Amino acid sequence: MSFPADRPRRLRRTTGLRALVAEHRLHPSDLVQPLFVREGIDEPRPIPAMPGQVQHTRESARKAAAAAAQAGVGGLMIFGVPERKHPDGRGAWDERGITQLAIGDVAAEVGDATVVIGDVNLDEYTDHGQVGLLGDDGDVDNDATLAAYARVAAAQAGAGAHVVAPSGMMDGQVAALRAGLDASGHERVTILAYAAKYDSAFYGPFRTAVESSFTGARSTHQQDPANLREALREVRLDREEGADLVMVKPAGHYLDVVRRVADTADVPVAAYQVSGEYAAIEIAARHGILQRERAIEESLVAIRRAGAQIILTYWATEVADRLRT
């Protein structure tokens, strides 16, 4: 019997060999841990739609931030959940708003050991749940919203955010943030653009976590899942407006988009493993359908393999701890 000279299975024979020749690997500093911080609660509140995740108090958020930094996690994304909402989302730029307070708490806790990122949006703060100010037609008024976003970014930078991340998918949002940050003395604050954010069904658990009032789809400003060239155009426009980093969201169902963006962008590329992706694995694992830790690692390695340098994931601290042991 003749055998092929090239036998790839030789390189898979032992754990050590597989590790030696691995083409992609995760590192704790690749990962960003999102944190939900709720106003007006005395203890962390579990999020039923996201098993294992909580709405933090300010104090528990500080502890979670310290644990993430200790594990070597690269960044922390802060989402505030206010007690009161308004039509114009004014709490989003209030210096005493929960997002700014939480950013200040976390920044004081971790210093420069990890990167503190503020999500720039209004959806947690508006009583209608939309991402911006509404026009007479009931849709989001793009240009009026840009001015609000600039105020939010300046407030987050003033609270101590190293990075601000506009996620509302308004045309011109990066340019508006850059101008607002520079005018308020925050020229050194970085902008992470949600450049390719799709109108996805996988955001549902997140909307529960932030107690959003919104129902329905955001098809008028988030991208159509059918389109790829549109994503590349959005990335190009955000770079032209001054984005320092760009993001694809969601991650797992858009790995082709991650790959194309990574191949064409001249800045680091992030991908957000969103709440629905997280919940699907957690719930399936709890029913014994799959092996939890293997599924988590496989999902993250796939995102890394597709070209993402930065991965936002609700498992960031847990995975970073495992990688360090």
For 7, 12, 14, the CA distances from 3, given in Å and listed in that order, are: 9, 18, 21
Q: Quick one: CA torsion of 252, 243, 82, 66, rounded to 10 degrees?
A: 70
63 labelled catalytic: no
Distance CA 104, CA 6 (A): 57
The CA distance from 162 to 189, in Å, is 6
Task: Please state, in angstroms and rounded to a whole number, the distance separating the CA atoms of residues 275 and 7.
Answer: 41
The two beta strands, 310-312 and 54-56, are unpaired
Q: Measure the CA angle with vertex 48, ends 43 and 53; round to 5°.
A: 60
The answer to whether the bond into 268 is cis (omega within 30° of 0) is no
Q: CB atoms < 10 A from the CB of 112, how many?
A: 9
Residue from 197, 239, 260, 304 carrying the catalytic annotation? 197
Query: Which of 98, 81, 103 lies closest to 156, judged by CA?
Result: 103
Of residues 218, 239, 249, 260, which has the active-site annotation? 249
Yes or no: say if 118 and 154 are a contact pair by the CB < 8 Å rule: no
Cα separation of 127 and 135, whole Å? 15
- Please state, in angstroms and rounded to a whole number, the distance separating the CA atoms of residues 133 and 93: 14
Query: Catalytic: 197?
Result: yes
Which residues are catalytic, by number? Answer: 197, 249
